[in-house]
Amino acid sequence: MNPKLFNLFLFATLSTGSLYSQNAPAPPKPGILLLAHGGRLQSWNDEVKRVAVEVDSKVPTEIAFGMAARSSLQAGIDRLTARGVTEIVAVPLFVSSHSSVIDSTAYLLGLRKSAPEDLEMFSAMDHPGGGHGDMDMSHMKKNPEAMKPIQASVPVRMTSALDHHALVAEILADRAGAVSRDPASEVVLLVAHGPVEDEENKLWLKEMQILADAMQAKTKYASVQCLTLRDDAGDPVRNKATDELRTQVQKINGSGKTVLVVPLLLSFGGIEDGLKERLKGLQYRMPTQGLLPDPRIIDWVLSSEQDAIKAPVN
Protein backbone atom coordinates (compact mmCIF):
# COMPACT_ATOMS: atom_id res chain seq x y z
CA MET A 1 0.00 0.00 0.00
CA ASN A 2 1.15 3.50 -0.75
CA PRO A 3 2.68 4.89 2.49
CA LYS A 4 0.65 8.06 2.28
CA LEU A 5 -2.59 6.13 1.84
CA PHE A 6 -1.67 3.84 4.73
CA ASN A 7 -1.03 6.80 7.03
CA LEU A 8 -4.37 8.34 6.08
CA PHE A 9 -6.17 5.03 6.79
CA LEU A 10 -4.38 4.66 10.13
CA PHE A 11 -5.27 8.21 11.13
CA ALA A 12 -8.94 7.69 10.25
CA THR A 13 -9.05 4.43 12.20
CA LEU A 14 -7.51 5.90 15.34
CA SER A 15 -9.70 9.00 15.16
CA THR A 16 -13.09 7.39 14.59
CA GLY A 17 -12.65 3.78 15.70
CA SER A 18 -12.48 0.70 13.50
CA LEU A 19 -15.04 0.19 10.80
CA TYR A 20 -15.99 -3.12 12.45
CA SER A 21 -16.70 -1.61 15.85
CA GLN A 22 -18.83 1.13 14.30
CA ASN A 23 -20.98 -1.29 12.33
CA ALA A 24 -21.09 -4.25 14.72
CA PRO A 25 -24.56 -4.80 16.22
CA ALA A 26 -25.06 -4.37 19.94
CA PRO A 27 -24.92 -7.64 21.91
CA PRO A 28 -28.32 -9.22 22.61
CA LYS A 29 -29.91 -8.43 25.95
CA PRO A 30 -32.77 -10.83 26.74
CA GLY A 31 -35.32 -10.15 29.45
CA ILE A 32 -37.72 -12.40 31.35
CA LEU A 33 -41.43 -11.78 31.79
CA LEU A 34 -42.39 -13.93 34.77
CA LEU A 35 -46.04 -14.97 34.50
CA ALA A 36 -47.94 -15.76 37.71
CA HIS A 37 -51.55 -16.07 38.84
CA GLY A 38 -51.45 -13.57 41.64
CA GLY A 39 -53.99 -13.75 44.44
CA ARG A 40 -55.59 -12.16 47.42
CA LEU A 41 -52.91 -13.21 49.89
CA GLN A 42 -49.92 -10.90 49.84
CA SER A 43 -47.72 -13.71 51.12
CA TRP A 44 -48.35 -15.67 47.90
CA ASN A 45 -47.49 -12.69 45.72
CA ASP A 46 -44.42 -11.99 47.83
CA GLU A 47 -43.08 -15.49 47.10
CA VAL A 48 -43.27 -14.73 43.36
CA LYS A 49 -41.62 -11.35 43.88
CA ARG A 50 -38.74 -12.98 45.75
CA VAL A 51 -38.17 -15.30 42.81
CA ALA A 52 -38.27 -12.34 40.42
CA VAL A 53 -35.73 -10.38 42.49
CA GLU A 54 -33.27 -13.28 42.46
CA VAL A 55 -33.69 -13.89 38.74
CA ASP A 56 -33.46 -10.15 38.04
CA SER A 57 -29.98 -10.08 39.57
CA LYS A 58 -28.87 -12.17 36.58
CA VAL A 59 -31.37 -11.35 33.80
CA PRO A 60 -33.68 -8.29 33.59
CA THR A 61 -37.00 -9.58 34.95
CA GLU A 62 -40.50 -8.17 35.38
CA ILE A 63 -43.66 -9.85 36.68
CA ALA A 64 -47.05 -10.05 34.96
CA PHE A 65 -49.61 -11.08 37.57
CA GLY A 66 -53.07 -12.25 36.54
CA MET A 67 -54.96 -14.83 34.55
CA ALA A 68 -54.17 -13.94 30.93
CA ALA A 69 -54.50 -10.26 31.90
CA ARG A 70 -53.55 -8.16 28.89
CA SER A 71 -52.94 -4.99 30.91
CA SER A 72 -50.45 -6.76 33.16
CA LEU A 73 -48.69 -8.44 30.23
CA GLN A 74 -48.39 -5.15 28.33
CA ALA A 75 -47.12 -3.29 31.39
CA GLY A 76 -44.47 -5.93 32.03
CA ILE A 77 -43.32 -5.89 28.42
CA ASP A 78 -43.18 -2.10 28.43
CA ARG A 79 -41.03 -2.11 31.57
CA LEU A 80 -38.62 -4.62 30.06
CA THR A 81 -38.42 -2.66 26.81
CA ALA A 82 -37.66 0.49 28.77
CA ARG A 83 -34.78 -1.39 30.37
CA GLY A 84 -33.26 -1.95 26.95
CA VAL A 85 -33.89 -5.65 26.39
CA THR A 86 -33.65 -6.87 22.80
CA GLU A 87 -35.97 -9.87 23.22
CA ILE A 88 -38.34 -11.19 25.86
CA VAL A 89 -38.89 -14.71 27.16
CA ALA A 90 -42.21 -15.20 28.96
CA VAL A 91 -41.82 -17.89 31.63
CA PRO A 92 -45.09 -19.20 33.14
CA LEU A 93 -44.61 -19.84 36.86
CA PHE A 94 -47.53 -22.25 36.69
CA VAL A 95 -47.77 -25.91 37.66
CA SER A 96 -49.04 -26.98 34.24
CA SER A 97 -48.98 -25.75 30.65
CA HIS A 98 -52.31 -27.48 30.01
CA SER A 99 -54.85 -24.78 30.73
CA SER A 100 -56.88 -22.12 28.98
CA VAL A 101 -54.95 -19.49 30.98
CA ILE A 102 -51.71 -20.52 29.29
CA ASP A 103 -53.38 -20.78 25.87
CA SER A 104 -54.99 -17.35 26.28
CA THR A 105 -51.68 -15.84 27.39
CA ALA A 106 -49.95 -17.28 24.33
CA TYR A 107 -52.60 -15.64 22.13
CA LEU A 108 -52.20 -12.27 23.83
CA LEU A 109 -48.44 -12.50 23.35
CA GLY A 110 -48.95 -13.06 19.62
CA LEU A 111 -47.79 -16.68 19.79
CA ARG A 112 -51.08 -18.32 18.93
CA LYS A 113 -53.35 -17.56 15.96
CA SER A 114 -56.76 -18.33 17.45
CA ALA A 115 -58.19 -16.94 20.69
CA PRO A 116 -59.38 -19.58 23.18
CA GLU A 117 -63.03 -19.37 24.24
CA ASP A 118 -62.10 -18.61 27.84
CA LEU A 119 -60.21 -15.47 26.85
CA GLU A 120 -63.46 -13.51 27.02
CA MET A 121 -63.88 -14.55 30.66
CA PHE A 122 -60.27 -13.72 31.50
CA SER A 123 -60.55 -10.36 29.75
CA ALA A 124 -63.50 -9.48 31.97
CA MET A 125 -61.32 -10.14 35.02
CA ASP A 126 -58.47 -8.00 33.68
CA HIS A 127 -57.64 -5.77 36.61
CA PRO A 128 -54.51 -5.18 38.70
CA GLY A 129 -53.70 -8.13 40.93
CA GLY A 130 -56.33 -10.34 39.38
CA GLY A 131 -55.88 -13.94 40.27
CA HIS A 132 -57.43 -17.15 41.38
CA GLY A 133 -59.15 -15.74 44.39
CA ASP A 134 -60.68 -12.80 42.53
CA MET A 135 -63.19 -14.49 40.25
CA ASP A 136 -66.29 -12.52 41.22
CA MET A 137 -68.55 -13.43 38.32
CA SER A 138 -71.26 -10.92 39.29
CA HIS A 139 -69.14 -7.95 38.17
CA MET A 140 -67.78 -9.46 34.99
CA LYS A 141 -68.35 -7.46 31.81
CA LYS A 142 -67.07 -7.90 28.30
CA ASN A 143 -63.76 -6.14 27.75
CA PRO A 144 -62.89 -6.24 24.02
CA GLU A 145 -59.70 -4.22 24.52
CA ALA A 146 -58.35 -6.85 26.89
CA MET A 147 -58.74 -9.48 24.17
CA LYS A 148 -56.36 -7.81 21.72
CA PRO A 149 -52.77 -9.09 21.42
CA ILE A 150 -50.17 -6.92 23.12
CA GLN A 151 -47.81 -4.55 21.30
CA ALA A 152 -44.10 -5.28 21.51
CA SER A 153 -41.16 -3.68 19.75
CA VAL A 154 -38.91 -6.70 20.42
CA PRO A 155 -39.41 -10.43 19.75
CA VAL A 156 -41.35 -12.35 22.40
CA ARG A 157 -41.07 -16.06 23.14
CA MET A 158 -42.82 -18.22 25.71
CA THR A 159 -41.62 -21.33 27.53
CA SER A 160 -43.52 -24.23 29.05
CA ALA A 161 -44.74 -24.14 32.64
CA LEU A 162 -43.18 -26.34 35.33
CA ASP A 163 -44.93 -29.47 34.03
CA HIS A 164 -42.74 -32.57 34.67
CA HIS A 165 -39.37 -30.83 34.99
CA ALA A 166 -36.83 -32.89 36.93
CA LEU A 167 -36.34 -30.11 39.49
CA VAL A 168 -40.05 -30.29 40.38
CA ALA A 169 -39.72 -34.00 41.14
CA GLU A 170 -36.72 -33.24 43.36
CA ILE A 171 -38.60 -30.59 45.32
CA LEU A 172 -41.65 -32.81 45.75
CA ALA A 173 -39.42 -35.62 47.01
CA ASP A 174 -37.96 -33.26 49.59
CA ARG A 175 -41.43 -32.14 50.68
CA ALA A 176 -42.49 -35.75 51.14
CA GLY A 177 -39.24 -36.49 52.96
CA ALA A 178 -40.01 -33.73 55.47
CA VAL A 179 -42.97 -35.74 56.84
CA SER A 180 -41.72 -39.26 56.08
CA ARG A 181 -40.83 -41.70 58.85
CA ASP A 182 -40.73 -45.13 57.20
CA PRO A 183 -40.79 -44.84 53.39
CA ALA A 184 -41.31 -48.55 52.78
CA SER A 185 -44.65 -48.38 54.58
CA GLU A 186 -45.75 -45.04 53.11
CA VAL A 187 -47.60 -44.06 49.94
CA VAL A 188 -47.03 -40.59 48.53
CA LEU A 189 -50.14 -39.02 47.03
CA LEU A 190 -49.39 -36.04 44.80
CA VAL A 191 -52.47 -33.79 44.71
CA ALA A 192 -52.81 -30.88 42.28
CA HIS A 193 -55.46 -28.22 41.75
CA GLY A 194 -56.25 -29.50 38.27
CA PRO A 195 -58.22 -27.99 35.36
CA VAL A 196 -61.90 -27.93 34.48
CA GLU A 197 -61.89 -29.76 31.16
CA ASP A 198 -61.57 -33.56 31.05
CA GLU A 199 -59.01 -33.58 28.24
CA GLU A 200 -56.82 -31.08 30.04
CA ASN A 201 -57.14 -33.12 33.22
CA LYS A 202 -55.78 -36.17 31.40
CA LEU A 203 -52.76 -34.10 30.35
CA TRP A 204 -52.23 -32.85 33.92
CA LEU A 205 -52.31 -36.42 35.22
CA LYS A 206 -49.90 -37.55 32.50
CA GLU A 207 -47.38 -34.89 33.57
CA MET A 208 -47.91 -35.74 37.23
CA GLN A 209 -47.32 -39.43 36.56
CA ILE A 210 -43.93 -38.57 35.09
CA LEU A 211 -43.12 -36.71 38.32
CA ALA A 212 -44.41 -39.65 40.36
CA ASP A 213 -42.27 -42.11 38.40
CA ALA A 214 -39.19 -39.91 38.84
CA MET A 215 -39.79 -39.75 42.60
CA GLN A 216 -40.38 -43.49 42.81
CA ALA A 217 -37.11 -44.22 41.00
CA LYS A 218 -35.08 -42.32 43.60
CA THR A 219 -36.95 -43.15 46.82
CA LYS A 220 -38.07 -46.20 48.78
CA TYR A 221 -41.76 -45.36 49.14
CA ALA A 222 -44.25 -48.18 48.69
CA SER A 223 -45.67 -46.18 45.78
CA VAL A 224 -46.14 -42.65 44.48
CA GLN A 225 -49.59 -41.83 43.09
CA CYS A 226 -51.34 -38.71 41.80
CA LEU A 227 -54.78 -37.08 41.73
CA THR A 228 -56.31 -33.70 40.85
CA LEU A 229 -58.91 -31.77 42.86
CA ARG A 230 -60.50 -29.86 39.93
CA ASP A 231 -61.64 -27.09 42.25
CA ASP A 232 -62.95 -24.80 39.52
CA ALA A 233 -65.15 -27.42 37.86
CA GLY A 234 -68.87 -27.81 38.47
CA ASP A 235 -70.14 -29.67 41.52
CA PRO A 236 -70.54 -33.08 39.82
CA VAL A 237 -66.92 -33.08 38.60
CA ARG A 238 -65.55 -31.58 41.80
CA ASN A 239 -67.50 -33.96 44.04
CA LYS A 240 -66.32 -36.92 41.99
CA ALA A 241 -62.72 -35.77 42.44
CA THR A 242 -63.30 -35.49 46.19
CA ASP A 243 -64.78 -39.00 46.33
CA GLU A 244 -61.80 -40.38 44.41
CA LEU A 245 -59.38 -38.65 46.78
CA ARG A 246 -61.09 -39.91 49.93
CA THR A 247 -61.51 -43.42 48.52
CA GLN A 248 -57.84 -43.62 47.63
CA VAL A 249 -56.70 -42.44 51.06
CA GLN A 250 -59.05 -44.90 52.77
CA LYS A 251 -57.82 -47.73 50.54
CA ILE A 252 -54.18 -46.99 51.39
CA ASN A 253 -54.94 -46.75 55.09
CA GLY A 254 -56.86 -50.00 54.87
CA SER A 255 -53.78 -51.71 53.46
CA GLY A 256 -51.86 -50.78 56.60
CA LYS A 257 -49.79 -48.07 54.95
CA THR A 258 -49.49 -44.39 55.80
CA VAL A 259 -50.54 -41.68 53.34
CA LEU A 260 -48.27 -38.70 52.68
CA VAL A 261 -50.39 -36.10 50.89
CA VAL A 262 -48.00 -33.81 48.97
CA PRO A 263 -49.76 -30.85 47.32
CA LEU A 264 -48.42 -29.98 43.88
CA LEU A 265 -48.91 -26.26 44.49
CA LEU A 266 -46.57 -23.35 43.93
CA SER A 267 -47.28 -21.94 47.35
CA PHE A 268 -49.68 -22.50 50.20
CA GLY A 269 -52.25 -19.73 50.16
CA GLY A 270 -55.75 -21.14 50.66
CA ILE A 271 -56.09 -24.09 48.30
CA GLU A 272 -54.47 -26.38 50.84
CA ASP A 273 -57.22 -25.47 53.33
CA GLY A 274 -59.81 -26.83 50.91
CA LEU A 275 -57.73 -29.98 50.54
CA LYS A 276 -57.64 -30.46 54.31
CA GLU A 277 -61.43 -29.99 54.45
CA ARG A 278 -61.92 -32.69 51.83
CA LEU A 279 -59.67 -35.03 53.80
CA LYS A 280 -61.45 -34.37 57.08
CA GLY A 281 -61.65 -37.45 59.28
CA LEU A 282 -58.97 -39.37 57.37
CA GLN A 283 -55.46 -40.32 58.48
CA TYR A 284 -52.58 -38.74 56.57
CA ARG A 285 -49.54 -36.50 56.91
CA MET A 286 -48.88 -33.41 54.82
CA PRO A 287 -45.89 -31.03 54.51
CA THR A 288 -46.26 -27.38 55.41
CA GLN A 289 -45.17 -25.78 52.13
CA GLY A 290 -45.58 -26.07 48.38
CA LEU A 291 -42.87 -25.76 45.73
CA LEU A 292 -42.02 -22.28 46.99
CA PRO A 293 -39.89 -21.06 48.60
CA ASP A 294 -37.06 -23.03 47.00
CA PRO A 295 -33.93 -21.83 45.16
CA ARG A 296 -34.40 -24.55 42.55
CA ILE A 297 -37.39 -22.66 41.16
CA ILE A 298 -35.01 -19.78 40.44
CA ASP A 299 -32.73 -22.23 38.64
CA TRP A 300 -35.69 -23.46 36.62
CA VAL A 301 -36.66 -19.94 35.52
CA LEU A 302 -33.11 -19.17 34.39
CA SER A 303 -32.66 -22.48 32.59
CA SER A 304 -36.03 -22.05 30.87
CA GLU A 305 -34.93 -18.65 29.58
CA GLN A 306 -31.64 -20.04 28.34
CA ASP A 307 -33.30 -22.97 26.57
CA ALA A 308 -35.71 -20.61 24.86
CA ILE A 309 -32.93 -18.30 23.68
CA LYS A 310 -30.98 -21.23 22.23
CA ALA A 311 -34.02 -22.71 20.47
CA PRO A 312 -34.54 -21.79 16.80
CA VAL A 313 -37.27 -19.25 16.10
CA ASN A 314 -40.25 -20.77 14.30
Check residue 140 and give its pLDDT: 61
CA distance 82 to 86: 10
Check residue 15 and give its pLDDT: 44
Measure the CA angle with vertex 300, ends 220 and 211; round to 5°: 30
Among 3.40.50.1100, 3.40.50.1400, 3.40.190.170, 3.40.190.10, name the CATH number for the domain at 30-162+295-310. 3.40.50.1400
Check residue 144 and give its pLDDT: 87
- 158: burial class by Cβ within 10 Å (0-12, 13-18, 19+)? buried
Domain boundaries, the chain: 30-162+295-310, 166-278
- Backbone torsions φ then ψ of 19, nearest 5 degrees: -60, -35
Check residue 118 and give its pLDDT: 92
Residue partners of 31: CB distance under 8 A and separation at least 6: 59, 60, 61, 62, 80, 83, 85, 87, 88, 89
Closest CA to 73 of 59, 92, 53, 51: 92
Q: Topology of 166-278 in CATH?
A: Rossmann fold (3.40.50)
- Kind and range of the H or E run holding 178: none
Measure the CA angle with vertex 289, ends 137 and 48; round to 5°: 60
Check residue 28 and give its pLDDT: 87
Check residue 1 and give its pLDDT: 52
Check residue 27 and give its pLDDT: 84
Check residue 246 and give its pLDDT: 98
CA 213 to chain CA mean position, Å: 21
Closest CA to 34 of 310, 304, 311, 284: 304
pLDDT tens for the chain, 314 residues: list them: 555 544 444 444 444 444 444 566 778 899 999 999 987 778 789 999 999 999 999 999 999 999 999 999 999 999 999 999 999 999 999 999 999 999 999 999 999 999 999 999 999 888 544 444 444 444 567 788 999 999 999 999 999 999 999 999 999 999 999 999 999 999 999 999 999 999 999 999 999 999 999 999 999 999 999 999 999 999 999 999 999 999 999 999 999 999 999 999 998 876 788 899 999 999 999 999 999 999 999 999 999 999 999 887 66
Check residue 23 and give its pLDDT: 62
Query: Taken in order 74, 79, 82, 87, is the CA torsion positive or negative?
Result: negative
